[in-house]
Amino acid sequence: MFLILIFSGLILLMAVLLVAPSVVNDIMRSRIGPRSRPAPSKYPHFAVIMIFVLGCALFYLVGQGRAVRHFDHFEFLANCVAALFLAVVGIFGCYFPIQFMKVFVVRLRRVPAASLDDRARKIMEASGKIFGALFLLGASFVTHLVVTSS
């Protein structure tokens, strides 16, 4: 139970790093003046990879002690394709959140990106990255099913 809480907290920390890298940058470099701090990374590779890896570890811990279901060949291939699809969609949402939101929210397709004010752009980026992280967690769950079934 304690490990499950630790992994859940680490996934939450990685989601915060993904959504608000400037806040994490300010906390980590609090002794450096605000003007001297480097700009936070716009492509947080570490957070994306760690959300997937920690999600796999979390689902492995949660699934311990349960009966393992063996898949036939078609189910195995379908789950592999599903895990790959969810991972690609999640990575797309984490790296290109505004385009991600425009693909999945029909009303936003007609709105040009230049017409968005700064507040709306930040909200769209945060929500796209959160949905991307959720897709990555879904991919880690399906990956856990594929790995434990074989």
User: 35-78: per-residue pLDDT in tens?
Assistant: 777 777 766 788 899 999 999 888 888 887 777 778 888 999 99
Out of 93-102, 112-121, 135-144, pick the least confident.
112-121
**CA separation for the pair 80, 76 (Å, rounded):** 6
**Structure token pair of residue 98:** 């505004």
**CA separation for the pair 28, 108 (Å, rounded):** 35
**CA separation for the pair 42, 56 (Å, rounded):** 25
CA dihedral 92, 89, 122, 13 (to 10 degrees): -100
pLDDT band, very low/low/confident/very high, at 133 (cuts 50, 70, 90): very high
C-alpha Rg value of the chain to the nearest Å: 18
The pTM (predicted TM-score) of the whole model is 0.84
